[in-house]
Amino acid sequence: MKLYQEQVDAIEMWIMEYGRPLEKAKWQVMMRNAEANLVLAELLKYQNADGGFGNGLEPDITMPESSATASAEALFIADEYGLLQDAPWLAQLLAYFENTADEQRPMTWEQVPNIVETYPHAPWWQYQSATEYRPNPGAVAAAVLIIYGNATQQDLGLREAERALAFLMQAEVAFEHDLFCLQFMVEHLLAINSPMITDAVVVKLQTLIHQTTSFDSATWEGYVAKPLDFVDKPNSLWYSAVEAGVEKNFTNWIETLHPEGYWQPNFSWGEESNEAQYVTQIWRGVVSVQRVTKFKHFGLIE
């Protein structure tokens, strides 16, 4: 189930021709040992004057304005490439989260503002007011507010973390993107030895990850959570929850690699507009970088 070098070379050629500059930078850092600041330089092109991120960083949300969802995505990327540290851009992002928080709403941060309807977007990003709490993306914001924020921001982060943990401990089922955000928060708060993250919290999150994961490869062409969606490396805290399906998942990726050197995402806008096709092309690059990176981290490149 290894990826051969000639396959990696084909993927690199595809990304360098068709990928966004951001994905090209990710590839250079992960596969060519370039400096991580190469990714940061591209990432910051998506940051707005209000400190938040937009401008299509999350490809399915094309609006230039900031959103909490795109801002959380910026944090996922920064974390993956070792870029989370005290810096002006992060201080500006924390200010964005502080300024846009509304703790009287069901969710402290709307995933997207209603202006999303002004621009092309995936059908699942149609604006609607939240009626109940979900930790996507608030749990991600909570972690960075607690770790990097000033006193006021830390208090906001702590309150949001409490909401996220209450959701986790009460949940019987969960959507995968909520779990990704909870993983981020739990991992980062564990790293600072936060007393909020007990053994029971970790076990509950592991249980939900296992329950949410589809281990049946026949379902993987649809939009389901797959084992490798939850782990980047074999030493992941969550590895035991998905271990039974990891080898099969890598095998499936090898079998579904397009001969031209990319993976087709298992979702689309369901239309053939130029914008939708362009976004699918972006996602091919995003998904391909993610998958090759995991092959590398698991030592599965021949």
Same domain membership, residue 181 and residue 117:
yes
Same domain membership, residue 243 and residue 184:
no
Same domain membership, residue 174 and residue 46:
yes
Same domain membership, residue 39 and residue 16:
no
Q: What pLDDT digit, counting tens, does each position of 209-247 carry? A: 999 999 999 999 999 999 999 999 999 999 999 999 999
Compute the mean pLDDT over every residue in the chain, rounded to the nearest whole number.
98
* Residues contacting 261, CB < 8 A, separation 6+: 7, 10, 11, 12, 13, 14, 15, 288
Same domain membership, residue 62 and residue 174:
yes
Look at residue 155 and tell me if it is in a domain.
Answer: yes
Across residues 54-70, what is the average pLDDT? 99
Could you tell me what percent of the chain has a pLDDT over 70? 100
Q: In degrees to the nearest 10, what's the CA dihedral of 227, 232, 252, 246? A: -50
- Tell me the angle at which helices 138-148 and 151-170 cross, rounded to the nearest 10 degrees: 140
Structural domains counted in the chain: 2
For residue 110, pLDDT beyond 90 = yes
Same domain membership, residue 171 and residue 59:
yes
Instruction: Give the domain extent around 89.
Output: 35-212
- Helices vs. strands in the chain: H and E counts, helices first: 11, 0
Same domain membership, residue 273 and residue 198:
no
| Beta-bridge partner residues of 61 | 121
| Beta-bridge partner residues of 3 | 301
Same domain membership, residue 204 and residue 64:
yes
Are the beta carbons of 57 and 274 closer than 8 angstroms?
A: no
The residue written with tokens 């299509």 in the block is 56
For residue 6, pLDDT beyond 90 = yes
For residue 153, pLDDT beyond 90 = yes
The Cα–Cα gap between 189 and 62 comes to 31
C-alpha angle with apex 179: 163 to 103, nearest 5 degrees?
25
